[in-house]
């Protein structure tokens, strides 16, 4: 026990170092300063002072400028105008607001796209995107980079030593409009990238299995972009194109951050606002780990395409799971994060756009607080009167002076957080119960690319698989850190590690997993793990054979059912239905059988097993249940039998801890009792948390 306390104190110190970072030194020293985007170029200059003063008066600590303002900063080629932005920065300073300054790279001005249309991306239909869209250029195009470098250098010279500017946002939600760029420029780049990776065309032919269907090339110059509309059916080419695109997006960010770093003060940080992970498989936050001071992220919880809980209020409360996942993934890049854009109310671009439930906006801010975010910023202060997002709510109604309902909730949350910040002890230690359940989620974007390229059943959904485990871990109040294969598999920091559907592996990883488990770690693997090498080839071996020894079983085969069929698994005294995927396992002596099929021709065949190894154990979950209760039950059993102190929360009721405070938020449609003990002191809210409610205790 003593060793345990010592280890969590050590972790406490590590965290103190990381979490003592204040990204925005706001005047009132809030634990989580809150900011709002302001686009001066959208408003009459006569209103700037009124608006900026109001931002400050409402309690916001910072604002956000210039993200898409290239046409105003460089109205004609080589003619720069920073005077208007200078006046805005001076106003921010006058009212004690900090500023996040942005590179305006997502929206090149008309003179540039007219002069160099070749910088514009091409969609998979072969159309070149025209001026008028944003994120319509390829950030690696050297012609475009010439202009980007010039404007960024000018901005950096102008604002790089200003104490008003706390940091910089590169670009906006990095990705290409349309997901991939099929331009002739990219074709050349992709060929170069391949040459660099494979050196010879023979190596590429081998890696792509090009002997299959006479796909072999004589030369790199023959290689086309694997455009889905052109029916390229080679999975390795497709995965490499995704990898190339992810590298290119990361390289474009690196290009900008290097330009800035050479010019700005070391007191100013550099980030970008990542978004929509699920829809952008070629945007990999970890690929930018060395180039950013931290990763921030954007959050539109009422987007109709996200994962929602069930219940009649669900589409008004939003997807708390997405906020949680997004924040924990972004935080994992450098140890801390903030939300760069949080919707302030109704949006205007969903398939439909529901009003948030009164209270929901405030709850999202508190959820972000609980997750340890260093700041929250909202898009945007004023609702625009023109342009593409006219019906997007702001903190202000369209008149510019009336607070919107979401604006009111922002103001409330800001006040509440400031009050609590005054009382905070800024504790660095992590409570022992949190440490006991702390979990690493092993993340490799290339696995996602591979799994989504070869789904194997129309019912396969990689994100749903990840979310199932993520969400069920959150019902136990588990803090999750996403880590990479190259990171330290630290048993003390992460007594549990999960690697769902970890398809591509190599020997090094298997040995690293083994060591982690022997040292006392608890490793959870699921279906499809270890099926392929890092080229996405099957092993010249039996199915998943490289991980047999690790999991303690032979994987005989996998089965899949049609969407309307159902079969059953027996686990811990109960039956659970499944139909997407079911592995059939032949455990080796010593491996414990936890779950078996209860029907089909393979009735009695194991699919859930536990193999003890050294001081720890490996758990293999070879089945995907229908309503996800099975996964929840298995996880609970694993954590409980290893003495983790876990909670038992309903789905979408989250409990987080930061700076000495516990925070619970309720995205369900029912009131829920928070796990508050008699000796705890409630500082905000009530133990029974209504839908959209918040309770904070210590």
Under the criterion CB under 6 A, does residue 447 sit at the interface with ligand GAL? no
Q: Which is nearer to ligand GAL, 68 or 539 (CB)?
A: 68
CB of 443 to ligand GAL, least distance (A): 23
- Which H, E and C letters describe 322-339, residue by residue? HHHHHHHHHHHHHCCCCE
Question: CB 47: neighbour CB atoms within 10 A?
Answer: 15
CB of 291 to ligand GAL, least distance (A): 20
Site for ligand GAL in 313-372 (CB under 6 A): 341, 347
Bridge-based pairing of strands 592-597 and 661-666 is unpaired
Please give the Cα distance from 334 to 295 (Å, whole number): 7
Give the closest residue to 334 by CA, choosing from 526, 487, 110. 487
Q: Which is nearer to ligand GAL, 339 or 501 (CB)?
A: 339
Burial (CB < 10 A; 0-12, 13-18, 19+), residue 177, is middle
CB of 301 to ligand GAL, least distance (A): 11
Q: Which is nearer to ligand GAL, 316 or 493 (CB)?
A: 316
Q: Which of 180, 300, 496, 576 binds ligand GAL (CB under 6 A)?
A: 300
Under the criterion CB under 6 A, does residue 620 sit at the interface with ligand GAL? no
Residue 482 DSSP SS3: strand
Question: CB 16: neighbour CB atoms within 10 A?
Answer: 13
Q: Which is nearer to ligand GAL, 379 or 496 (CB)?
A: 379
CB of 167 to ligand GAL, least distance (A): 17
Please give the Cα distance from 9 to 430 (Å, whole number): 8
Under the criterion CB under 6 A, does residue 379 sit at the interface with ligand GAL? yes
Site for ligand GAL in 221-280 (CB under 6 A): 275
CB of 372 to ligand GAL, least distance (A): 23
Longest dimension (CA), the chain: 79
Please give the Cα distance from 243 to 194 (Å, whole number): 10
Number of residue whose CB is nearest ligand GAL: 173
Site for ligand GAL in 144-173 (CB under 6 A): 172-173
Q: Which is nearer to ligand GAL, 173 or 291 (CB)?
A: 173
Q: Which is nearer to ligand GAL, 298 or 383 (CB)?
A: 298
Asked if 232 contacts 224 with a C-beta cutoff of 8 angstroms, the reply is yes
Q: Which is nearer to ligand GAL, 392 or 514 (CB)?
A: 392
**Dihedral sign, CA of 507, 512, 516, 519?**
positive
CB of 57 to ligand GAL, least distance (A): 25
Q: Where are the beta strands (DSSP E) in 353-394?
A: 376-378
Q: Which is nearer to ligand GAL, 298 or 668 (CB)?
A: 298
Asked if 20 contacts 372 with a C-beta cutoff of 8 angstroms, the reply is no
Under the criterion CB under 6 A, does residue 298 sit at the interface with ligand GAL? yes
Q: Which is nearer to ligand GAL, 269 or 274 (CB)?
A: 274
Q: Which two tokens stand for residue 440?
A: 């690493």
DSSP readout, 129-152? PPBTBSS-B-TT-HHHHHHHHHHH
Q: Which of 389, 485, 487, 556 binds ligand GAL (CB under 6 A)?
A: 389
Number of H helices, E strands in the chain: 19, 25
Q: Which is nearer to ligand GAL, 341 or 446 (CB)?
A: 341
Q: Which is nearer to ligand GAL, 64 or 334 (CB)?
A: 64
Please give the Cα distance from 448 to 620 (Å, whole number): 19
Asked if 165 contacts 268 with a C-beta cutoff of 8 angstroms, the reply is yes
Site for ligand GAL in 169-188 (CB under 6 A): 172-173
- Kindly give the interhelix angle for 445-453 and 235-261, rounded to the nearest 10 degrees: 150
Q: Which is nearer to ligand GAL, 300 or 443 (CB)?
A: 300
Q: What is the CA radius of gyration of the chain?
A: 26
CB of 469 to ligand GAL, least distance (A): 27
Asked if 354 contacts 302 with a C-beta cutoff of 8 angstroms, the reply is yes
Under the criterion CB under 6 A, does residue 482 sit at the interface with ligand GAL? no
> What is the distance, to the nearest Å, from the Cα of residue 342 to the centroid of all Cα atoms in its chain?
14
CB of 68 to ligand GAL, least distance (A): 7
Please give the size of the binding site for ligand GAL, defined by CB under 6 A: 10
Please give the Cα distance from 345 to 341 (Å, whole number): 12
Q: Which of 64, 254, 362, 392 binds ligand GAL (CB under 6 A)?
A: 392
CB of 347 to ligand GAL, least distance (A): 5
CB of 536 to ligand GAL, least distance (A): 31
CB of 37 to ligand GAL, least distance (A): 8
- Strand partners for 538: 532
List of residues contacting ligand GAL (CB under 6 A): 172-173, 275, 298, 300, 341, 347, 379, 389, 392
């Amino acid at each position: 026990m003593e060793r345990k306390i010592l280890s969590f104190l050590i972790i406490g110190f590590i965290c103190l170092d990381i979490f003592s970072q204040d990204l925005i030194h706001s005047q009132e020293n809030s634990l989580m300063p809150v900011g709002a985007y302001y686009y001066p170029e959208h408003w009459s200059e006569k209103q700037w002072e009124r608006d900026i003063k109001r931002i400050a008066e409402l309690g916001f600590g910072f604002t956000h400028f210039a993200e898409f303002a290239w046409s105003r900063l460089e109205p004609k080629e080589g003619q720069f105008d920073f005077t208007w932005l200078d006046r805005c920065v001076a106003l921010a300073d006058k009212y004690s607001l900090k500023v996040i300054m942005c590179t305006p790279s997502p929206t090149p001005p008309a003179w540039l796209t007219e002069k160099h249309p070749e910088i514009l991306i091409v969609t998979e239909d072969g159309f070149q995107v025209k001026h008028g869209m944003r994120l319509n250029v390829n950030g690696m195009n050297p012609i475009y980079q010439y202009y980007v470098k010039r404007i960024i250098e000018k901005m950096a010279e102008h604002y790089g030593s200003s104490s008003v500017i706390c940091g910089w946002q590169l670009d906006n939600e990095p990705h290409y409009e349309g997901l991939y760029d099929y331009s002739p420029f990219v074709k050349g780049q992709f060929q170069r990238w391949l040459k660099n990776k494979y050196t010879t065309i023979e190596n590429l032919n081998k890696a792509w299995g090009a002997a299959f269907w006479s796909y072999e090339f004589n030369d790199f110059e023959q290689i086309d972009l694997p455009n889905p509309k052109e029916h390229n059916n080679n999975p390795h080419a497709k995965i490499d194109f995704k990898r190339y695109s992810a590298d290119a997006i990361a390289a474009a960010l690196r290009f900008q951050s290097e330009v800035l770093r050479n010019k700005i003060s070391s007191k100013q940080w550099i980030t970008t606002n990542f978004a929509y992970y699920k829809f952008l498989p070629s945007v990999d936050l970890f690929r930018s780990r060395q180039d950013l001071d931290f990763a921030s992220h954007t959050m539109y919880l009422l987007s109709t395409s996200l994962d929602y809980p069930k219940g009649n209020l669900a589409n008004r409360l939003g997807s708390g799971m997405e906020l949680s996942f997004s924040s924990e993934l972004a935080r994992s890049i450098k140890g801390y994060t903030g939300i760069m854009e949080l919707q302030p109310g109704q949006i205007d671009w969903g398939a439909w756009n529901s009003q948030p439930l009164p209270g929901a906006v405030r709850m999202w801010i508190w959820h972000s607080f609980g997750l340890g975010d260093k700041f929250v910023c909202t898009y945007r202060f004023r609702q625009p009167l023109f342009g593409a997002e006219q019906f997007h709510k702001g903190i202000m109604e369209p008149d510019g002076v009336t607070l919107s309902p979401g604006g009111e909730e922002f103001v409330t949350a800001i006040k509440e957080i400031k009050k609590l910040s005054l009382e905070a002890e800024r504790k660095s230690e992590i409570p022992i119960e949190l440490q006991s359940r702390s979990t690493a989620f092993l993340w490799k974007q290339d696995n996602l690319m591979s799994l989504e390229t070869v789904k194997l059943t129309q019912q396969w959904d990689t994100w749903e698989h990840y979310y199932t485990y993520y969400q069920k871990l959150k019902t136990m109040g588990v803090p999750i850190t996403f880590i990479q294969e190259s990171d330290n598999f630290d048993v003390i920091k992460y007594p549990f590690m999960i690697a769902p559907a970890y398809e591509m592996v190599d020997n090094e990883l298997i040995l690293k997993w083994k060591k982690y488990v022997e040292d006392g770690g608890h490793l959870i693997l699921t279906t499809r793990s270890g099926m392929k090498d890092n080229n996405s080839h099957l092993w010249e071996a039996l199915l998943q054979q490289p991980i047999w020894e690790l999991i303690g079983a032979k994987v005989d085969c996998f089965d899949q059912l049609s969407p309307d069929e159902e079969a059953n698994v027996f686990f811990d005294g109960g039956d659970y239905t499944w139909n997407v995927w079911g592995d059939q396992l032949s455990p080796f002596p010593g491996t414990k059988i936890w779950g078996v099929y209860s029907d089909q021709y393979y009735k009695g065949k194991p699919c859930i097993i536990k193999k003890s190894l050294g001081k720890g154990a490996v758990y293999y979950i070879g089945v995907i249940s229908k309503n996800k209760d099975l996964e929840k039950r298995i996880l609970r059993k694993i954590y409980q039998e290893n003495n983790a102190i876990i909670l038992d929360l309903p789905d979408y009721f989250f409990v987080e801890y930061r700076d000495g405070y516990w925070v619970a938020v309720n995205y369900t449609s029912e009131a829920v009792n928070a796990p508050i003990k008699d000796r705890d002191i409630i500082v905000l809210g009530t133990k029974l948390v209504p839908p959209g409610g918040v309770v904070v205790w210590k």
